[in-house]
């Protein structure tokens, strides 16, 4: 009875409908799950987790003390642990719990992380005295503060902590001063000196290096060098002050370590922090992430240069892509006779959209960089050869390549907008005596501007996430300066730049310390997804708004 | 109501000069805009063409073959026609050449005009003549001169480059690396008929023959680490005599094998490491009445090139099969058939050899690519000797009448041919022909292995696994969303899918490589069971739902089925992952990975095709979805309504009417998805091990064309063969996606017309 019930039900085709529904469910879960995963991993990175101290005994070995932050817990078949050479007995229990402990102190132990078997941990405790020190090199330090050496005075005990706070603050402010000096004034002098060198070389190439000119250049150079000497003296003083203080700390295995405060970014006691402190710390870290420069081969610190590079590249790309894409769409919709030519153009547009992005990279490298850039260098920048100016990857070529890549997006969106403008408006304008061009400039383009905006936003979203072509045309893992700065000519189109997407690839896959870098990669990914998702939603919102508007016009 | 019209209608004069000017400007602007816009539109076509043509222009030189062009031809007073050359050679720049003659005269001269630079005689003892000669290999610049008294002189030509007054000055010199005093090879003092040498820092092996008797001497040099004192010791091998009249003797640079060409048709291979034991007596000429007329070793000394009296050329090398190594014919070239091959010269840095025949023709060949690059006459008479420059850009020829000629050679990319790119190639030291991509090698002596076959295979493999996952999900989801789903839910689902499409692939790749790959490795049974169980569970839930009391069923409106399945799927996923360890422990002895490798013999990489399939499937789903959904949604309503009115169930309407009508659109969606999967770079780059293997195993990785470009392009030297091959890879990708996209677009354009008529 039930069987036949099932058969009839099956025959209605309802199970197939449900299977189709299942596919939607899978797609939705995949997307949302992925976003959730990135969000959780990315956001949790900045939270100051408690530091556990415990005794750890591998059977048959002496007990050691561990201090660290538990990052993962998982169930592992005992068989596998045995395969890894641990003294476990698969007979006793089939599974064991394993924890990944971030023990920090890479300078002492070689690695930041350690896998431990949870069953062998005893006496787990969270003492408030444990300090975590974020350093500019070697990663975090976890341990106990012993003393602070301030200006030759050694302070111990409770007082040490307060002294430390003030000393760290002082070091931090000196650090900011040094950075400002190095990147600002000294950077300026260096760029001036380089320009002088190029000017001299340029005269030399033109056989126009007269004694007058040489003397003038020499004089200018002397001025710069004098300034430099002055700044250098200042810098030396700052560094002496910077390196003055240090602290002594004890690591989990009893080793005592002297840490100069010049390498310390931040000192905190996670176990002693209340929820408000933690939230404060969290946002401070978050701010550091978006506003600061990367440290330690990009595995710590912030991603500001990458954000900046991405934004600059995308802006330049927009300036290039918009007119071109809009023109093509206007031609397709307003000017061309619908026929063979428009069909070919549409095929071309679809092909441009479908060409693998890496092919654009190859084209950009070969055509823009080596062919165009190489020739431009010969013609306009002979003085800096053999060092290429535009004959190497840079902001300009990357933007051009991506403009080519995103042109179809703008075309398709603009065309859609143009289609939606009611015929009556065009005819009205023409009937009033306007020429076609006037109709276009005064009526059609303003009305379709939201559509263009949509197209542009989608193009920007696409460009922001594209990495493969950029790897060939000018993205680097670490750019020394921003492409826009205070040195002449301010906007450096020839400079290589950093990019969020490439940052993810580089830190996640090329970094020597992947485990430590991983949370930061998640955070960067979250940032990128956030930017792209909001751009997309903005585009969708504009599109919907536009549709409503024209619906009203049509009626 | 009265009409108020002004009696005095002011007439506007439209033809004032100002108005005319204004109109002309407007007209001009109108025209300008028209042109401006047309340029913009046609620019799109130009862009596509530019990309295609530029890539093509970078690729074409690969298939160009070689060209030679005579620069100079001259006779010089110092050259004695009656004193034929033993060797011609050039230095790096091709500016200075050396000629060694039969009387033992060594001459250095300018290649451009034959101007003499210096001249000297080899230190040959009084009353002794040169009886044999051999060049070790072009890149060591050493040669051995066998004398009529059983002694050997080893010479080396060397060039010093200086820049006095910023002008390049090349000073040639002749050195004797083993001393100017001749080495004694035959103690009985007989004339050496053929001589061969091979040496390196630690020692030297000399071989020669007197009649059929073979003489081999090894001289080893040992330098005392402490004192720097050099001690030499000499040892002789006693060998069986050759089986026929000796034509040539060759020793490979590793001093492992000695090849004795003898009896006109045979090569005896002797193992120098096994005290001269005979490896085999091989017949190296196929035709009955042909004889070996020339033989030489290729760069690296692994391959032996045999030229015969009928113009045939064969490449042979020692192949270590299952048993003992044997000299095996690898390739043959018959482009110079007809005339006897006279000289064979290897190039110094590539696997290229040049031959001349009795008719004065020059042939240029590449062994790896099985490529004949050129056959062209140098002269009407056979030529006496020739040299190819180290950079393979110049050729120096001594003609029969004692004239010299200097040629430019353009042979940039000999390594590439259709067969080396796409076919199986038998590389040196390989047991059999194979497809290999290995663009970087330790030394220039190993062949570049530039087969695109494994990369193309990897590309297709990745796309295949991605499509297997993506196509059913995307099409099913599209069908449901377009046809069954409630509008309210559709408004929520579509932005989610659009967001899915916007996700940068670098993020997908990063998650696939760093999160999914280890997760899969740890929970392999869970994933497999999830993939198997999902459809089963969907149907069971559907059935149970249909059995539910109406009251419950009505709580969820029609078209919201997917919403019910979301928690079900999540629950199932969780359950599968939770039970994964247990399944693994119970069925696979605790570790499925080990089980696969040990018990089933399936190799397992952490970053494998399954990971790529899942991640790239994720990237492709929204592409297919949006186009397919569009196609299904725009099927005219009256078709479906007609079908439903005739009593068909919704599913029948769907499968018999809607899908059929929309099938071209769905097909084009799949093609565009395929195009995207083929060209995707970041995901494969990050989620596979990037090893170029050819294997359908789902648990192993691959290297795709696109990832290969991304990895190798930045390090590739501009204009090199490798660089151009990468462009070719890009062109292959472009052509493939071009076909896919054009076909898809044509189908869609037809479909649009069809709908319009419906």
Q: What is the DSSP string of B740-752?
A: HHHHHHHHHHHHH
At residue A214 the predicted structure's pLDDT band, cuts being 50, 70 and 90, is confident
Domain that holds residue A205: 143-272
Task: Pick the closest to residue B383 from B424, B426, B354 (CA basis).
Answer: B354
Residues B352 and B312: their CA atoms lie apart, in Å, by 16
Helices and strands per DSSP (H, E), number in chain B: 17, 31
Residue A301 placed within a domain: no
Please state whether beta strands B341-346 and B246-251 pair in parallel, antiparallel, or not at all (unpaired).
Answer: unpaired
Measured between beta carbons, the chain B residues lying within 8 angstroms of A18 are 538-539, 541-542, 545, 561, 565
Residue B8: exposure state from Cβ atoms within 10 A (0-12, 13-18, ≥19): exposed
Quick count: other Cβ atoms within 10 Å of Cβ A527?
21
Residues A445 and A421: their CA atoms lie apart, in Å, by 10
Q: What is the pLDDT of residues A47-71, one digit of tens each?
A: 888 888 888 888 888 888 888 888 8
The whole-number pLDDT of residue A168 equals 87
Q: A27 and B589: CB-CB below 8 Å?
A: no
Residues A247 and B144: their CA atoms lie apart, in Å, by 72
Residue A339 pLDDT > 60: yes
User: What is the percent of chain A where pLDDT is above 70?
Assistant: 99
Residue with tokens 């560094």: A239
Contacts of A212 (CB under 8 A, 6+ apart): none
Same domain, A358 and A434: yes
> What phi, psi does B663 have (nearest 5°)?
-55, -40
At residue A3 the predicted structure's pLDDT band, cuts being 50, 70 and 90, is low
Q: A354 and B37: CB-CB below 8 Å?
A: no
The whole-number pLDDT of residue B526 equals 87
3-state SS, residue B216: strand
Best residue of B504, B527, B547, B674 to probe chain A, by most A CBs closer than 10 Å: B504
Same domain, A312 and A267: no
At residue B2 the predicted structure's pLDDT band, cuts being 50, 70 and 90, is very low
Residue A307 tokens read as 């954000």
Measured between beta carbons, the chain A residues lying within 8 angstroms of B584 are 77
Least reliable range by pLDDT among A482-486, B127-131, B248-252, B427-431 = A482-486
- A217 or B600, which is more confident: A217
Give the residue from A12, A28, A44 where a domain finishes: A44
CB A30 within 8 A of CB A92: no
Residues B409 and B388: their CA atoms lie apart, in Å, by 9
Cis, bond preceding A489 (omega within 30 deg of 0): yes
Q: What is the pLDDT of residues B528-541, one digit of tens each?
A: 888 888 889 988 88
Residue A302 pLDDT > 60: yes
Residue A37 placed within a domain: yes
Tell me the CA distances in angstroms from B211 to B83, B153, B191, B215, one per residue in order.
Answer: 25, 20, 9, 10
Measured between beta carbons, the chain B residues lying within 8 angstroms of A12 are 649, 651
Residue B170 pLDDT > 80: yes
Helix axes of A14-44 and B453-479: crossing angle, nearest 10 degrees: 110
Closest CA of chain B from A552, distance in Å = 21
Residue A550 placed within a domain: yes
Q: A346 and B479: CB-CB below 8 Å?
A: no
Residues B612 and B593: their CA atoms lie apart, in Å, by 18
Measured between beta carbons, the chain B residues lying within 8 angstroms of A508 are 510, 513-514, 686
Measured between beta carbons, the chain A residues lying within 8 angstroms of B32 are 437
Q: A28 and B672: CB-CB below 8 Å?
A: no
- CATH number, position A505: 1.10.3720.10
Same domain, A323 and A242: no
Residue A220 placed within a domain: yes
At residue B364 the predicted structure's pLDDT band, cuts being 50, 70 and 90, is very high
The whole-number pLDDT of residue A364 equals 93
Q: B476 and A95: CB-CB below 8 Å?
A: no
Residue with tokens 């690059």: B373
- B472 or A545, which is more confident: B472
The whole-number pLDDT of residue A494 equals 85
Q: What is the pLDDT of residues A443-461, one digit of tens each?
A: 888 888 888 888 888 898 8
Residues A321 and A463: their CA atoms lie apart, in Å, by 11
| Predicted model pTM | 0.89
Q: What is the pLDDT of residues A77-114, one digit of tens each?
A: 777 778 777 787 777 777 788 888 888 888 888 888 88
Best residue of A7, A19, A24, A414 to probe chain B, by most B CBs closer than 10 Å: A24
At residue B225 the predicted structure's pLDDT band, cuts being 50, 70 and 90, is low
CB A545 within 8 A of CB B508: no
Q: B37 and A38: CB-CB below 8 Å?
A: no
Mean pLDDT of chain B: 87
Beta pairing partners, B278: B270
Please state whether beta strands A246-250 and B96-101 pair in parallel, antiparallel, or not at all (unpaired).
Answer: unpaired
Give the residue from A272, A299, A320 where a domain finishes: A272
Same domain, A403 and A549: yes
Mean pLDDT of chain A: 86
Contacts of A237 (CB under 8 A, 6+ apart): none
Q: A345 and B678: CB-CB below 8 Å?
A: no
CA atoms within 13 A on the CB side of B66: 30
CA atoms within 13 A on the CB side of A327: 18
Residues B319 and B428: their CA atoms lie apart, in Å, by 8
Residue A87 placed within a domain: no
Residue B562 pLDDT > 90: no
Measured between beta carbons, the chain A residues lying within 8 angstroms of B591 are 77, 79-80, 83
The whole-number pLDDT of residue A59 equals 83
Tell me the CA distances in angstroms from A26 to A22, A31, B504, B563, B579, one per residue in order.
Answer: 6, 9, 20, 11, 20
Same domain, A233 and A358: no
Please state the separation of Cα B461 from the chain's center in Å: 18
Q: What is the pLDDT of residues A481-534, one digit of tens each?
A: 788 877 777 888 888 899 999 999 988 888 777 777 888 889 999 999 988 888
Same domain, A185 and A318: no
Q: What is the pLDDT of residues A224-235, one digit of tens each?
A: 888 888 888 988
The whole-number pLDDT of residue B461 equals 92
Measured between beta carbons, the chain A residues lying within 8 angstroms of B47 are 348, 352, 404, 407
Closest CA of chain A from B435, distance in Å = 24
The edge-to-edge listing of strands for the beta sheet with B404-410 is B67-74, B404-410, B394-398, B385-388
Same domain, A268 and A359: no
Residues A539 and B595: their CA atoms lie apart, in Å, by 50
Q: DSSP assignment, residue A467?
A: -
3-state SS, residue B176: coil
CB B378 within 8 A of CB B349: no
Please give the average per-residue pLDDT across B704-724, as a whole number: 89
Closest chain A residue by Cα to residue B507: A525
> Please, what are the domains in chain B?
67-121+291-433 (2.120.10), 124-283 (no CATH), 453-757 (1.10.3720.10)
User: What's the number of domains chain A is made of?
Assistant: 3
CB A79 within 8 A of CB A72: no
Closest CA of chain B from A389, distance in Å = 17
Q: What is the pLDDT of residues B110-131, one digit of tens each?
A: 998 888 999 998 888 888 899 9
CB B356 within 8 A of CB B343: yes
Residues B327 and B325: their CA atoms lie apart, in Å, by 7
Residues B217 and B237: their CA atoms lie apart, in Å, by 6
Helices and strands per DSSP (H, E), number in chain A: 19, 13
Q: What is the pLDDT of residues A358-400, one digit of tens each?
A: 999 999 999 999 999 989 988 888 887 787 878 888 899 999 9
Residue A169 placed within a domain: yes
Same domain, A451 and A497: yes
Closest CA of chain A from B655, distance in Å = 10
Residue B423 pLDDT > 80: yes
Give the residue from A272, A292, A316 where a domain finishes: A272
Tell me the CA distances in angstroms from B506 to A362, A520, B460, one per residue in order.
Answer: 18, 15, 20
3-state SS, residue B612: helix
Q: A468 and B710: CB-CB below 8 Å?
A: yes
Closest chain A residue by Cα to residue B30: A437
Residue B231: exposure state from Cβ atoms within 10 A (0-12, 13-18, ≥19): exposed
Q: Give the nearest partner residue to A347 out of B563, B675, B742, using CB atoms.
A: B742
Residue A1 pLDDT > 70: no
Q: A440 and B58: CB-CB below 8 Å?
A: no
Closest chain A residue by Cα to residue B747: A347
Same domain, A436 and A315: yes
Residues A487 and A191: their CA atoms lie apart, in Å, by 7
C-alpha R_g of chain B: 38
Residue A470 placed within a domain: yes
Same domain, A257 and A336: no
Residue B238: exposure state from Cβ atoms within 10 A (0-12, 13-18, ≥19): exposed
Residues B752 and A303: their CA atoms lie apart, in Å, by 47
Same domain, A388 and A493: yes
User: What is the percent of chain A where pLDDT is above 90?
Assistant: 19
Residue B477 pLDDT > 90: yes
Q: Give the nearest partner residue to B618 out of A30, A79, A466, using CB atoms.
A: A30
CB A455 within 8 A of CB A414: yes
Q: What is the pLDDT of residues B438-463, one digit of tens each?
A: 887 667 677 888 899 999 999 999 99
Residue A110 placed within a domain: no
Please give the average per-residue pLDDT across B290-317, as a whole number: 90
Contacts of B304 (CB under 8 A, 6+ apart): B250, B259, B267, B295, B296, B297, B298, B315, B316, B317, B327
Residues B499 and B131: their CA atoms lie apart, in Å, by 82
Same domain, A207 and A322: no
Q: B495 and A537: CB-CB below 8 Å?
A: yes
Closest chain A residue by Cα to residue B492: A28
Q: B565 and A18: CB-CB below 8 Å?
A: yes
């Amino acid at each position: 009875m039930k069987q036949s019930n099932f058969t009839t039900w099956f025959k209605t085709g309802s199970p197939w409908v449900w299977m189709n529904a299942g596919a939607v469910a899978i797609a939705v879960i995949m997307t949302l799950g992925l976003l959730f995963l990135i969000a959780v991993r990315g956001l949790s990175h900045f939270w100051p987790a408690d530091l556990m101290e415990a005794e750890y005994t591998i059977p048959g070995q002496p007990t050691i003390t561990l201090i660290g932050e538990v990052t993962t817990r998982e169930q592992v078949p005992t068989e596998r642990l045995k395969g890894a050479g641990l003294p476990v007995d698969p007979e006793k229990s089939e599974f064991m719990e394993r924890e990944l402990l971030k023990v920090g102190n890479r300078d002492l132990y070689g690695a930041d992380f350690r896998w431990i078997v949870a069953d062998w941990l005893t006496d787990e405790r969270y003492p408030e005295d444990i300090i975590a020190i974020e350093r500019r090199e070697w990663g975090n330090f976890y341990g106990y503060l012993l003393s602070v050496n301030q200006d030759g005075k050694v302070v111990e005990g409770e007082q040490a902590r307060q002294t430390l706070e003030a000393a760290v603050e002082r070091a931090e402010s000196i650090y900011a001063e040094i950075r400002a000096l190095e990147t600002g004034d000294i950077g300026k002098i260096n760029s001036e000196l380089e320009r002088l060198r190029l000017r001299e070389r340029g005269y030399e190439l033109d056989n126009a290096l007269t004694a007058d000119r040489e003397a003038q250049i020499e004089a200018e150079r002397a001025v710069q060098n004098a300034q430099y000497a002055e700044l250098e003296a200042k810098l030396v003083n700052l560094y002496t002050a910077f390196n003055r203080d240090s602290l002594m700390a004890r690591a989990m295995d009893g080793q005592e370590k002297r840490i100069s405060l010049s390498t310390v970014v931040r000192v905190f006691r996670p176990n002693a922090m209340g929820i408000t402190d933690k939230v404060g710390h969290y946002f401070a870290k978050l701010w550091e992430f978006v506003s600061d420069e990367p440290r330690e081969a990009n595995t710590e610190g912030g991603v500001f240069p990458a954000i900046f590079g991405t934004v600059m590249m995308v802006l330049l790309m927009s300036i290039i892509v918009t007119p071109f894409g809009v023109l093509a769409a206007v031609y397709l919709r307003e000017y061309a006779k619908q026929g063979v030519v428009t069909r070919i153009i549409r095929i071309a547009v679809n092909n441009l959209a479908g060409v693998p992005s890496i092919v654009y990279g190859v084209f950009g490298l070969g055509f823009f960089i080596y062919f165009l850039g190489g020739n431009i260098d010969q013609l306009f920048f002979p003085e800096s050869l053999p060092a290429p100016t535009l004959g190497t990857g840079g902001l300009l070529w990357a933007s051009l390549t991506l403009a080519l890549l995103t042109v179809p997006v703008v075309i398709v969106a603009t065309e859609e907008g143009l289609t939606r403008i009611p015929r009556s408006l065009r005819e009205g304008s023409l009937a009033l005596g306007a020429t076609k061009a006037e109709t276009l400039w005064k009526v059609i383009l303003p009305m379709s501007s939201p559509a263009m905006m949509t197209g542009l936003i989608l193009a920007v979203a696409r460009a922001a996430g594209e990495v493969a072509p950029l790897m060939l045309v000018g993205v680097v893992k670490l750019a020394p300066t921003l492409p826009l700065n205070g040195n002449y000519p301010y906007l450096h189109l020839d400079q290589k730049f950093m990019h969020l997407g490439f940052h993810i690839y580089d830190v996640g896959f090329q970094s020597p310390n992947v485990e430590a870098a991983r949370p930061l990669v998640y955070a960067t990914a979250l940032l990128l997804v956030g930017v792209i998702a909001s751009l997309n939603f903005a585009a969708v919102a504009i599109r919907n708004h536009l549709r409503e508007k024209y619906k009203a016009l049509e009626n | 109501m009265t009409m108020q019209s002004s009696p005095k209608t002011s007439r506007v004069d439209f033809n004032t000069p100002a108005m005319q000017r204004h109109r002309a400007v407007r007209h001009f602007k109108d025209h300008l805009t028209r042109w401006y816009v047309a340029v913009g539109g046609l620019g799109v076509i130009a862009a596509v063409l530019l990309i295609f043509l530029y890539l093509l222009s970078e690729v074409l030189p690969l298939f160009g073959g070689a060209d030679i062009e005579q620069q100079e031809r001259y006779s010089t007073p110092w050259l004695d026609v009656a004193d034929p050359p033993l060797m011609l050679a050039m230095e790096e720049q091709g500016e200075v050449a050396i000629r060694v003659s039969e009387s033992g005269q060594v001459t250095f001269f300018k290649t451009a005009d034959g101007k003499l630079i210096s001249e000297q005689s080899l230190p040959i003892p009084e009353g002794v003549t040169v009886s044999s000669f051999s060049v070790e290999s072009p890149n060591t610049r050493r040669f051995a001169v066998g004398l009529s008294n059983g002694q050997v002189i080893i010479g080396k030509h060397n060039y010093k480059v200086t820049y006095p007054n910023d002008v390049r000055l090349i000073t040639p010199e002749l050195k004797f690396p083993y001393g100017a005093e001749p080495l004694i090879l035959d103690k009985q003092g007989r004339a050496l008929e053929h001589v061969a040498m091979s040496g390196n820092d630690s020692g030297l092996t000399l071989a020669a023959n007197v009649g059929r008797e073979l003489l081999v001497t090894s001289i080893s040099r040992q330098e005392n680490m402490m004192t720097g004192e050099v001690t030499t010791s000499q040892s002789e091998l006693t060998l069986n005599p050759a089986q026929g009249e000796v034509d040539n003797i060759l020793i490979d640079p590793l001093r492992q094998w000695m090849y004795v060409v003898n009896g006109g048709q045979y090569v005896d291979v002797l193992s120098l490491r096994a005290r001269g034991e005979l490896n085999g007596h091989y017949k190296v000429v196929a035709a009955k009445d042909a004889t070996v007329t020339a033989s030489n070793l290729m760069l690296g000394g692994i391959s032996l090139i045999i030229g015969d009296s009928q113009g045939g050329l064969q490449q042979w090398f020692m192949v270590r099969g299952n048993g003992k190594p044997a000299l095996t014919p690898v390739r043959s070239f018959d482009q110079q058939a007809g005339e006897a091959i006279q000289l064979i010269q290897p190039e110094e840095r590539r696997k290229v050899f040049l031959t001349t025949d009795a008719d004065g023709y020059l042939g240029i060949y590449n062994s790896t690519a099985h490529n004949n690059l050129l056959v062209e006459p140098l002269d009407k008479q056979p030529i006496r000797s020739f040299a190819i420059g180290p950079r393979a850009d110049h050729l120096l020829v001594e003609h029969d009448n004692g004239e010299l000629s200097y040629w430019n050679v353009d042979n940039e990319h000999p390594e590439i041919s259709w067969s080396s790119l796409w076919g199986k190639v038998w590389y040196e030291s390989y047991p059999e022909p194979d497809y290999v991509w290995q663009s970087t090698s330790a030394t220039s002596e190993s062949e570049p292995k530039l087969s695109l076959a494994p990369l193309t295979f990897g590309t297709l493999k990745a796309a295949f696994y991605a499509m297997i996952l993506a196509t059913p999900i995307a099409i099913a989801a599209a069908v449901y969303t377009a046809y069954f789903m409630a509008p309210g839910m559709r408004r929520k689902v579509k932005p989610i899918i659009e967001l899915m499409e916007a996700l940068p692939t670098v993020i997908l790749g990063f998650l696939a490589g760093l999160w999914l790959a280890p997760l899969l490795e740890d929970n392999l049974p869970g994933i497999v069971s999830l993939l198997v169980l999902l459809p089963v569970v969907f149907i069971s839930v559907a059935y149970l739902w249909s059995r539910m009391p109406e009251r419950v069923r009505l709580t969820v409106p029609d078209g919201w089925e997917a919403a019910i399945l979301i928690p079900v799927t999540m629950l199932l996923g969780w359950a599968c992952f939770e039970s994964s360890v247990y399944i693994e422990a119970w069925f696979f002895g605790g570790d499925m990975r080990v089980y696969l490798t040990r018990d089933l013999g399936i190799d397992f990489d952490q970053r494998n095709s399954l990971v790529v399939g899942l991640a790239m499937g994720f990237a492709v789903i929204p592409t297919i979805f949006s186009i397919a959904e569009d196609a299904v949604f725009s099927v005219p309503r009256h078709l479906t309504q007609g079908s439903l009115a005739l009593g068909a169930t919704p599913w029948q309407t769907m499968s018999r009417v809607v899908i059929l009508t929309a099938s071209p659109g769905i097909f084009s969606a799949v093609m565009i998805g395929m195009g995207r999967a083929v060209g995707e770079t970041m995901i494969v780059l990050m989620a596979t091990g990037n090893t170029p293997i050819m294997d359908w195993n789902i648990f192993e990785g691959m290297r795709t064309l696109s990832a290969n470009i991304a990895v190798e392009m930045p390090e590739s030297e501009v204009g090199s063969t490798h660089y151009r091959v990468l462009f070719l890879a890009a062109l292959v990708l472009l052509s493939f996606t071009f076909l896919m996209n054009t076909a898809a677009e044509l189908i869609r354009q037809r479909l649009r017309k069809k709908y319009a008529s419906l």
